[in-house]
Amino acid sequence: MGGPVVVGVDGSPSSLAAVETAAWEAERRGTGLRLTHALVWPSTHVPPGIPPWDPDGGGLRDRVNGSLTEAERRARSVAPQVTITCDVLFGEPAAVLEIETRTASLTVVGGRRATRDGVLLHDSVADRLTAHGRCPTLVVRGRPEPAGPVVLADDASPALTAAAEFAFAEALGRGADLVVLHTRAGNGRLPLGPLSSLRTKYPDVAVRPRWLRGREGRVLVEASADAQLVVVGARHRVRNTLPGSVGRMLLRHAHCPVAVVPSAKV
């Protein structure tokens, strides 16, 4: 059993949807679930970690504990047998969850926009985790098609091996077909290398290659409409991040959850 599934909790509908997905993922993987609430105090300069609670801050504690209690209730309604732990850590949500990725097997965040004092939160958290996280990040978006395939974006990126391994394992675990979406010109055959070896490793996964033309971001968003999961590699080209326009479009407009998998060398 690997590290726990970690999910960010802030009490919003988006984060509660992420909690339910994270609980299902933890149960499916046979691992624990960690509910993490990031506490932000803008007037202080304390490194990320356990918050120095103010003895007079009972109201704040009550709000945080209320969010975690509801999140735990949602998680147990989905996966009652999963071991659940709750953490309250000081720091910006993106920074706190990035640290959590060092020991997690999967990090889950909500994908819809939420605000706190007019500041967008979930978008920036998802952006940072998908760019710098040490483990796969699952951004919960839309309504996945339960009978749909897992879609793997094959863009020949250095992270393709890690992303493909994740996608094959997900397809097997979900009992789904795997659609390998080639966004560059192909000749009708799966490329040699990681995909070929994984077809041998996962013989029970039905692989369906598709070659599509057009802008990569738009193609991936369209493919997500009838999928239950889209998997992409985080290390594109020379930077450990999704391409700006492609990443933003997919994370903000996909019709199903998106898993962003870092290269093994991060």
For the chain, the average pLDDT equals 82
Q: Provide the pLDDT for residue 48.
A: 58
Q: Which residue has the tokens 């990681």?
A: 194
Kindly list the structural domains of the chain, giving each domain's residue range(s) and its CATH number in brackets, ordered by start: 5-140 (3.40.50.620), 150-261 (3.40.50.620)
DSSP state at residue 115: E
- pLDDT mean over 227-235: 88
Pick from 146-150, 187-191, 243-247: least confident: 187-191
Residue with tokens 């304390």: 46
Residue 254 has a pLDDT of 92
Higher pLDDT, 45 or 147: 147
Express each pLDDT in 128-153 by its tens digit. 888 888 999 999 998 888 899 999 98
Rounded Cα gap, residues 73 and 63, in angstroms: 15
Does the predicted TM-score (pTM) go above 0.95?
A: no
Q: What is the pLDDT of residues 60-75, one digit of tens each?
A: 777 888 899 999 999 9
How far, in Å, CA of 181 to CA of 207, rounded?
A: 10
Q: Rounded distance, CA 219 to CA 246, Å? A: 10
Residue 215: φ, ψ to 5°: -65, 135
**Does residue 258 register a pLDDT over 70?**
yes
What is the model's pLDDT at position 125? 85
**Within 10 Å of residue 12's Cβ, how many Cβ atoms?**
19
- CA-nearest of 10, 41, 11, 7 to 22 is 7
Q: Encode pLDDT of 1-18 as tens digits.
A: 579 999 999 989 999 999
CB-side neighbour CA atoms (13 Å) of 37 = 24
